[in-house]
Structure 1
Amino acid sequence: MDFKSRYESSLTLTKFFGSLPLLVAFPLVFLSHSLSTTSFEFAYENTILLNIFLASACLSIVILAHRLNVLPISNATATTSGSNKMSTMYLLSTFYVIYTSASFLPANRVAVLYLGLFLNSWNLYTPLAFVLDCYTNFKEFYGLHIVFTYALVILGYYLLSSKLNSSSLSNLLSSLDKPTVFGTFIFSALALVFYNPSMFNFSMIGVNLATFIVFMISVQEFQMRDSRLSSVFVSLLLELLQYVVLLQQPSFSQIINIGLAAVVTPDKSYHFEQDEEKGTDQGHKITNNSAPILKELMGHSDTRAIFNFLLLNATFMFVQFLYSFRSKSLGLLSDSLHMALDCMSLVLGLIAGVISKHEIDSNGKYPFGLKNFEILAGFTNGTLLVGISGSILFEAIGRLFNPVHLQKTTELIIVSILGLLVNLVGIFAFNHGHSHGHSHGHSHEDEHDHMNDNMKGIFLHIMADALGSVGVVISTILTKYFSWDGFDPIASIIIATLIFVSAVPLIKSTASTLLLSISKTKEDQIRNILHEVQQVKGVRSLTTPRFWPGPRNNVCGYVHIQVYRGENTSYIKRQCEKMFESRNMDVMLQIENDYDDCWCRK
């Protein structure tokens, strides 16, 4: 395989991993919607109320994201109040139609339908799926029901696409009437709580809105619009999740559904071309006109890798966390809680990574910059890892003496393997982002010659989570075939020990840096240089040698040097400076005559 082929393969793989947050969050929006009611019987009033609430909640989230600069900002002038309200009601109705169509079709069907329409509005999947659904439901007299539902799907797509085609995204967001949206949201929320709260699964509603947030952010960086792999992946993932979460047994029709998804041939529809003209290019080019926060995050390879994995990790966390209660697995529960802490560490790492890249203003509030914020983030992540290992160890010891029988071990293994795959994706994206940043920054500075403490802390979180998934898979398989419930806590103890052992060196390294401690190797170098300085002709003595770790793996400090009367102080200073610079030390030298009065000799 030549270099060009390898490069194209690597680029395709990178685009796929970068699009994974959207490809996972998008189907979960529809799957969690199907679980948002507690009753298996269809009730029109409950469905209408739920969909109005979700539509207004989604638009409220969009408005807040726009205000927080998470979505693109418009510089256009505001439209009239009447057009604002009309545009707002139009979008509320559009979201309501989309959610209503999801109430009548299975999640695995409606998700692929909408994705296929946005990839190519004239794709073959839509008519083939319609014919298949009419055929399979013909004997149950659901023909009119299927026709009505597909009409809703197509209507929802064209309502949204026509609105996006007529206006840029930033102008559309700026034209929303906030009192209308928030008023609808508050009214529907109160009705949801007081009308018949027992009919709604509020945890699933929360998952639906959380996954919508992930979808809303990740859609700005979607890079797989030209690949049919998107629809196949979404279909395959939903079939797998319906087997695990909804306990639907595999069938031949599911294989047909996955095969049908492969007929979606992506194409640049008019909708996406219009967006490109308005500044929403495809791939990473979108960051040129996207939200300032997103543009800053995507501007660097390391922060881009962290951000993409944060979205993917947060999305899968909901699947793993909910299913851990169904299977009563301590390993999976601890793994999902660790994923939640991973998200916290990733957010902390993102903040540290972005702040540390700000230009140093020697006349500003922070004249030495904020580089140490990365070290503080690494120390915090190391401390979190120790706390995680302690909590897992404590719970595992209790389970050894009071075993809990695992349930649904087959589904548990599948969920654990999915979690392991997510972490492997994170490791790949992390290493790719770090090596990419290394290759671009190597010739300019030594900052990327090693993995800094912030990135090391994040990497240890991902590795520990991957170990947790491996432990759950192995312990569940052993429990399934040997029928002994002790494998789960034993695996948890091993995982906790490995997490603790990996976190201690990080804590020691970051703590010593925060305390301005110099390593033994650096200390020996400093002593040797100071000895050489004292041997320079004309130097009488030196006082107050002070040294501390620098921002780029170097050493900073200052030294007072006393010289004999009549010596060339400029020449001696240049000689001493060269000695320190040759060993990557940024040291300020103050040259004094031996008869001068200085505080350093008092």
Structure 2
Amino acid sequence: MGHHHHHHGELKGRMVISVILNLTITIAEIIGGILSGSLALLSDSIHNFSDSISLLASYFAVRVGERKANEKYTFGYKRAEILVAFINSAVLIGVSLFLLVEAYRRFKNPEPIDGPLMLVVALIGLLANLLSVLLLHDHAHESMNVRSAYLHLMSDTLSSVAVVIGGILIIEWNVTRVDPLVTVLISLYIMGEGYGILKESVEVLMEASPELDLEAIKAEIESIPSVRNAHHFHAWRIGENEVHFECHVEVEDIPISEAQGIIDEVEERLKKYGITHVTIQLEVEKCTDKGIVCHEEKEGD
């Protein structure tokens, strides 16, 4: 437990440093973008600002997620991180669409750009982004929330590389249309990365069943002595790594003293499927519908 708290404390500290770095980059790129006339720098500044907000939100989500369950939130606060991951990815996609529209306008009406200033600011942004990525790299696999923040920073680093290349091309050959082109490439990349997290976070929030072989689970439960049938399955995720499962288990007419043994056996066998919490309703010839999924009949059917 002490190691877990130390680990989370280290993560929170690194997230705070990353927020400060990203806000610094944002201010530098806004000033640099206005002075140089570079849309790519301004687009990168918007991206960095969204990163700052997402990192800040992710930081608070980690803090909230540590709070214990109570009578109002009996499952705890773990979904705060999933909610933030959803918001982060949705914002990323929205910002990308806005930048695509702006890039189209620049393609039609190119504007003069101060290449050297653009390059200097882009290099500062690249170094700061690389530092932020290194700070969160070891924690990126821990949760969807931290992964979404890490992807923000990775996409920022790549976009900074693209802006640096754009700055060099403008200095050497005065190819001003490379600026909106870089913006388009950045935006398309961000949209691709954001969609994956958006899809997964929606699945968790909508309580979609995680990837479980329900037929294998049914067979596993029904192989237990005294079990006749397992049906009416429900599986969902509370957080990214916490899978809950419940079902009805029809048993033979057994003494009630044997019931707990069956429940314990089901819980033990389902651990290998990655299920962390099991709720079993034992019954004897109660349900007429014995399907894996319960299809309740509506009135008048």
Residue 351 in structure 1 maps to residue 66 in structure 2: no
Map of 2:184 onto structure 1: 493
Deviations 1:339-375 (A, max 9, x none): 22111111111110110012233xx321111100100
2:52 partner letter: C
Deviations 1:407-436 (A, max 9, x none): 2x212211110010010010011124x28x
Deviations 1:199-237 (A, max 9, x none): xxxxxxxxxxxxxxxxxxxxxxxxxxxxxxxxxxxxxxx
Q: Which has more radius of gyration?
A: 1
1:535 partner letter: S
Q: Which of 64, 68, 75 is residue 368 of structure 1 equivalent to?
A: 75
Residue 483 in structure 1 maps to residue 192 in structure 2: no
Map of 2:209 onto structure 1: 518
Structure 1 distance, partners of 2:260, 2:143, is 37
2:72 is paired with a residue whose SS is coil
Q: Which of 196, 207, 221 is residue 533 of structure 1 equivalent to?
A: 221
Map of 2:95 onto structure 1: 388
Q: Which of 121, 124, 127 is residue 418 of structure 1 equivalent to?
A: 124
Map of 2:197 onto structure 1: 506
2:193 is paired with a residue whose SS is helix
1:377 partner letter: V
1:565 is paired with a residue whose SS is coil
Deviation at 1:401, TM superposition (A): 1.3
Map of 1:579 onto structure 2: 269
2:186 partner letter: I
Shift in alpha-carbon separation, 1:365–1:571, aligned structure 2, 3 A: closer
2:273 is paired with a residue whose SS is coil
Checking the alignment, whether the CA contact within 8 Å between 2:75 and 2:238 is kept in structure 1 is no
Q: For structure 1, which runs of at least 5 residues remain unmatched after alignment?
A: 1-295, 436-449
2:239 is paired with a residue whose SS is coil
Map of 2:254 onto structure 1: 566
What TM-score comes out, normalization by structure 2 length? 0.87
Deviation at 1:570, TM superposition (A): 3.4
Structure 2 distance, partners of 1:318, 1:595, is 66
1:411 partner letter: L
2:208 is paired with a residue whose SS is coil
Map of 1:69 onto structure 2: none
Map of 1:342 onto structure 2: 51
Map of 1:306 onto structure 2: 15
Structure 2 distance, partners of 1:329, 1:587, is 56
Size of the aligned set, in residue pairs, is: 284
2:112 partner letter: H
Show the 5 A alignment for 1:68-467. Answer: 300-361=9-70, 364-407=71-114, 409-432=115-138, 434=139, 450-467=141-158
Shift in alpha-carbon separation, 1:551–1:318, aligned structure 2, 3 A: closer
Structure 2 distance, partners of 1:473, 1:377, is 31
1:355 partner letter: V
Checking the alignment, whether the CA contact within 8 Å between 2:209 and 2:234 is kept in structure 1 is no
1:566 partner letter: I
Deviations 1:105-158 (A, max 9, x none): xxxxxxxxxxxxxxxxxxxxxxxxxxxxxxxxxxxxxxxxxxxxxxxxxxxxxx
**Greater RCO (Cα-Cα under 8 Å, separation 6 or more):** 2
What TM-score comes out, normalization by structure 1 length? 0.45
1:423 is paired with a residue whose SS is helix
Map of 1:143 onto structure 2: none
Map of 2:237 onto structure 1: 549
Deviation at 1:297, TM superposition (A): 11
Checking the alignment, whether the CA contact within 8 Å between 1:540 and 1:594 is kept in structure 2 is no
Q: Tell me which protein shows more strand as a share of its residues.
A: 2
Q: For structure 2, which runs of at least 5 residues remain unmatched after alignment?
A: 289-293
Checking the alignment, whether the CA contact within 8 Å between 1:352 and 1:377 is kept in structure 2 is yes
Q: What's the RMSD between the two structures over aligned residues?
A: 2.4
Checking the alignment, whether the CA contact within 8 Å between 1:345 and 1:458 is kept in structure 2 is yes
Checking the alignment, whether the CA contact within 8 Å between 1:561 and 1:590 is kept in structure 2 is yes
1:500 partner letter: M
1:451 is paired with a residue whose SS is coil
Deviations 1:276-300 (A, max 9, x none): xxxxxxxxxxxxxxxxxxxx99961
